[in-house]
């Protein structure tokens, strides 16, 4: 789950808080390959608009990661800076970069650089996105991995109620700790399609299909998978207070 809250300090500045929480439990976990884990991450960011086109962003993160057998335990902090620029009425460029400290309990600190660069375009009924992202992610092997990803997405409103979209992702994951086993080192390509049906102004039903091709570096083998997801979303309308 990933709840978030945005608080506007003024017309030009705002604070955003977000929590990302995962509690993963495998049916057949076994030591060395898969293990149950919990991963919690708190993100805080402050943004300030200096003009109608330019906004500066400063952020900080705190993370806790622990496996069920307590073999791996990580407490980490991070920071990032960035900016948001409106290139035109329909096009937007956003870039953030920073460092994340993934301190393994009882071991030396590990630093990983993170980034998020995107170019988006919003037309009347069409949305386009191109993105490069580098992030630190948890895995079932009890390690944290650095993931480089390139994302492309396209969506179009078919009518007032239904939106359809297509996308592609290319991932490459490496272990943050260079001395760790390369079990998590992998490359994969993912294709997806999505449909959204807006039931009301705050409720929507979303259906997504993903096809993934995975290549594991350590095992020297590749595989593919199909995934279908259906969920109900609730997005409350913002509360505007007048002074």
**DSSP string of 6-59?**
EEESSSSEEEEEEEEEEEE--TT-BTTTB--EEEEEEEEEEEEESSSSEEEEEE
Is residue 164 a part of any domain in this protein?
Answer: yes
pLDDT value, residue 207: 93
pLDDT value, residue 47: 94
Is residue 242 a part of any domain in this protein?
Answer: no
Longest dimension (CA), the chain: 63
Is residue 206 a part of any domain in this protein?
Answer: yes
**DSSP secondary structure code for residue 239 in this structure:** P
- pLDDT, one tens digit per residue, over 68-79 is 766 667 788 899
Is residue 15 a part of any domain in this protein?
Answer: yes
Name every residue whose Cβ is closer than 8 Å to that of residue 176 and which is 6 or more positions away in sequence. Answer: 102, 110, 112, 136, 143, 144, 145, 146
Is residue 123 a part of any domain in this protein?
Answer: yes
How many C-beta neighbours within 10 Å does residue 80 have?
A: 20
**DSSP secondary structure code for residue 124 in this structure:** S
pLDDT value, residue 239: 55
**Residue 19: which of 37, 6, 1 has the closest Cα?**
1
Is residue 154 a part of any domain in this protein?
Answer: yes
Tokens of 9: 């300090």
Which domain CATH number covers 173?
2.40.160.100
Is residue 243 a part of any domain in this protein?
Answer: no
Q: How far is CA 197 from CA 116, 117, 166, 194, 204, in A?
A: 29, 29, 15, 10, 6
Q: How far apart are CA 27 and CA 143, in angstroms?
A: 19
Is residue 155 a part of any domain in this protein?
Answer: yes
Name every residue whose Cβ is closer than 8 Å to that of residue 218 and which is 6 or more positions away in sequence. Answer: 181, 182, 183, 185
Q: How many domains does the chain have?
A: 1
Q: How far apart are CA 137 and CA 220, in angstroms?
A: 22
Q: How far apart are CA 110 and CA 156, in angstroms?
A: 42
Query: CA dihedral defined by 36, 138, 20, 224, rounded to 10 degrees?
Result: -90
The secondary structure of 74-121, three-state, reads: EEEEEEEEEEEEECCCCEEEEEEEEEEEEEECCCCCCEEEEEEEEEEE
Backbone angles phi, psi at 178, to 5 degrees: -65, -20
Q: Which residue ranges of the chain lie beneath pLDDT 50?
A: 242
pLDDT value, residue 240: 54
pTM confidence score: 0.78
> Which domain does 127 fall in, by range?
4-234
């Amino acid at each position: 789950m990933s709840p978030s809250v945005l608080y506007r300090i003024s017309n030009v500045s705002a604070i955003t808080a977000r929590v990302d929480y995962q509690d993963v439990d495998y049916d057949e976990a076994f030591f060395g390959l898969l293990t149950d884990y919990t991963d919690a991450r708190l993100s805080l960011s402050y943004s300030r608009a200096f003009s109608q086109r330019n906004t500066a962003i400063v952020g900080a993160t705190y993370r806790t990661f622990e496996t069920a057998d307590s073999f791996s335990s990580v407490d980490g902090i991070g920071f990032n800076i960035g900016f948001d620029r409106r290139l035109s009425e329909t096009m937007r460029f956003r870039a953030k970069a920073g460092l994340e400290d993934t301190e393994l309990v009882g071991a030396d600190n590990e630093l990983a650089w993170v980034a998020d660069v995107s170019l988006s375009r919003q037309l009347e009924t069409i949305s386009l996105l191109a993105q490069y992202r580098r992030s630190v992610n948890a895995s079932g092997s009890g390690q944290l991995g650095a993931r480089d990803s390139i994302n492309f997405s396209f969506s179009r409103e078919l009518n007032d109620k239904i939106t359809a979209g297509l996308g592609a992702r290319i991932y490459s994951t490496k272990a943050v700790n260079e001395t760790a086993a390369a079990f998590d080192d992998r490359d994969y390509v993912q294709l997806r399609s999505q449909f959204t049906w807006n039931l009301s102004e705050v409720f929507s039903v979303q259906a997504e299909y993903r096809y993934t091709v995975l290549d594991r570096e350590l095992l020297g083998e590749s595989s593919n998978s199909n995934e279908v997801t259906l969920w109900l979303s609730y997005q409350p309308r913002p509360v505007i207070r007048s002074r």
